[in-house]
Structure 1
Amino acid sequence: MSVFDDPGHFGRLWAATYDDPGNPDPAPAVDFLAPLAGGGPALELAVGTGRVALPLAARGLTVEGVEASPEMVAKLRAKPGGEHMPVTIGDMADVPVSGPYRLVFLVFNTLFNLVDAERQADCFRNVARVLAPGGAFVIETFVPDPANFDRDEQVQVREVTEDSATIRMHRYDRAAQTFVRQTITFDADGVHLHPFAMRYAWPEQIDEMAGRAGLRLAERYADWDRTPFDADSRSHISVYRLG
């Protein structure tokens, strides 16, 4: 069994540093999502530390979460409003809640954290199960650039100091549309490994998964500010609806 089959793996490794500077400002996402939620309730898959869900709830909306990592949820609970947000511990591909929800959202490329194509498809099918009539499923992912995956391996030096050195290594499987990334830090305490993997997909492939689940693409933008999506867009915000 691979460590990447464990849905809580990412959170256990990254919860302690997930809120460090570097993540995008959640405000544009919240501005985009709030009108789609209507009167709610809304559900965030892979809610993490509540980066988006908590400011959305602060607008008076009922927001729930699904998160596989108790470590991430502990960070959420420590934030203002986090103690009251309902969060179900479980695999986001299973969508282990009943609904119905006016809005379900999955942001920050996290769909690709499901490293098996069938589990990605399961996620869409299960979202369709819990959506209310007329409800929306919103995802945010990058658009893969083939130039980034035109090799089998890649090695990058991330940081070198007098006390430590960090390198990052990638192994690509272009046929499966997957990569494994290992971030390795050497310091006085030893060797520290932070493995990560993704199964990326192009927008049209995601549309096919959605269609098989009974969802149709209603809107697509290049970013949360509704910049029109075109062939040069490097990310997309896609809104799917039932029917």
Structure 2
Amino acid sequence: MDDEDGYFGELVAAAYDESSADMFAPSVVEPVVDVLTGLAGGGRALELGIGTGRIALPLARRGVPVHGMDLSRAMVTRLRAKPGGDAIGITIGDFATTRVDGRFSVAYLLFNTIMNLTTQEAQVACFRNVAAHLEPGGSFVIEVMVPELRKLPAGQNVVPFHVSPTRWAFDIYDIATQATSSNYVEVVDGRGTYRSIPFRYVWPSELDLMAQLAGLRLRERWAGWTREAFTSESPRHVSIWEKPAD
């Protein structure tokens, strides 16, 4: 692990856009930007975990002023090198506690990034931090997976999600603590590498309680960015909480 950049240091940042190429496809990005532009309503947007600018850059091109937070200088360096990247304000820091100037119409935390906060305490602090940054009537948006515990037979704690002759990737779950990790084993030129990133999975109802503690209330929940209905079979959700206008 890179101590300065957390688990998203130079090694991860250098390959991030390529390894997550599907998430950069216009068909994926544009519905997200459509929703966030509508929620911004002419105001400012705050991205927690801005990374290499997958959403921030196209959102800024829509005319929405974006400010970002991120712990990884290596990821932000990639953002800065892209067209328009130098025009986006960025604060380096932990998005659970870092404060920036001004108020925002919308804050957002996408692509499972809430799970990068590995304790319930930090996740609660994130909601409170966002609430302090929002204007009255402002919105907080989270996109995150639904925990995949239904894939675990009794006595098993591992869910593989990629298997090939040269690469294996799997999640390990601790049901008692909600701790999980994504683990990667790769063989290149006969040499193996191993990398593990810790997360904390979180339930929709738990997020709603965190929002309530921060003074926010659930406005909408969908199964995806085109407003599909969220059901017990949905593998992920997009949730929007709002700060009361009064």
Give the structure-2-normalised TM-score. Answer: 0.88
Q: What does residue 19 of structure 1 align with?
A: 17
Alignment of 1:81-100 (within 5 A): 81-100=84-103
Q: 2:172 matched to 1:171?
A: yes
- 1:68 pairs with 2:66: no
Q: How many angstroms apart in 1 are the aligned matches of 2:93 and 2:218? A: 27
1:14-163 aligned at under 5 Å gives the runs: 14-20=12-18, 21-23=21-23, 25-150=28-153, 151-153=156-158, 158-160=163-165
* Partner SS, residue 164 of structure 2: strand
**Cα RMSD after superposing both structures:** 2.1
Shift, 1:85, TM fit: 0.6
CA contact (8 A) 1:66 1:96 kept: no
3-state SS, counterpart of residue 8 of structure 2? helix
d(CA) in 2 for partners of 1:182 and 1:154?
Answer: 10
Structure 1 stretches lacking a partner, 5+ long:
none
SS in structure 1 at match of 2:23: coil
Counterpart contact for 2:2–2:9, Cα < 8 Å: no
Within 5 Å, which residues of 2 pair with 1:173-192?
Answer: 173-188=174-189, 190-192=191-193
Q: Does structure 1 conserve the Cα–Cα contact (< 8 Å) formed by 2:4 and 2:72?
A: no
Specify the alignment match of 2:239 in structure 1: 238
Q: Is the contact between residue 93 and residue 122 of structure 1 (CA under 8 Å) also seen in structure 2?
A: yes
Aligned to 1:193: 194
Cα displacement (A) at 1:8: 2.8
Going from structure 1 to structure 2, the CA distance change for 1:199 and 1:12 (only over 3 Å counts) comes to: farther
Residues 154, 231 of structure 1: CA spacing in aligned structure 2 closer, same or farther, 3 A cutoff?
Answer: closer
Contact between 1:149 and 1:172, CA under 8 Å: does it hold in 2? no
> What amino acid is the match of 2:228?
T
How far residue 185 of structure 1 moved from its aligned partner, in angstroms, is 2.0
Stretch deviating more after TM superposition (16-25 or 231-240): 16-25
Q: CA deviation at 1:181?
A: 2.5
Return 137-146 or 169-178, whichever deviates more.
Answer: 169-178
Asked whether the equivalents of residues 28 and 225 of structure 1 are also in contact (C-alpha less than 8 Å), the reply is yes
Query: 2:120, 2:89 → 1: CA distance?
Result: 29
The one-letter code matched in structure 1 to 2:176 is A
Measured against aligned partners, the alpha-carbon deviations of 1:105-130 in whole angstroms (never above 9, x if no partner) come to 00111101111111111100110111
Deviation at 1:190, TM superposition (A): 3.8
In 2: Cα distance, 1:105 partner to 1:195 partner:
25
SS at match of 1:167: strand
Asked if the contact 2:147/2:202 (under 8 Å) is kept, the reply is yes
C-alpha distance in 2 between matches for 1:7 and 1:117? 21
Q: What SS is found at the alignment partner of 1:15?
A: helix
The CA deviation at 1:154 is 5.0
Q: Which residue of 1 aligns with 2:7?
A: 9
Cα deviations by residue, 1:192-224 (Å, 9 ceiling, x for unpaired): 222112211111111011111111101111111
How many positions carry a matched residue from both structures?
Answer: 237
Could you list the per-position Cα deviations for residues 21-45 of structure 1 after superposition, in whole angstroms to 9, with x for gaps in the alignment?
A: 2225211100111011012211100
Q: Which amino acid aligns with 1:31?
A: D
Identity of aligned residues (%): 43
Whole-angstrom distance in 2 between the partners of 1:141 and 1:106 = 9
In the alignment, the residues of structure 2 paired with residue 13 and residue 124 of structure 1 have an alpha-carbon distance, to the nearest angstrom, of 30
Query: How far did 1:70 drift?
Result: 0.7
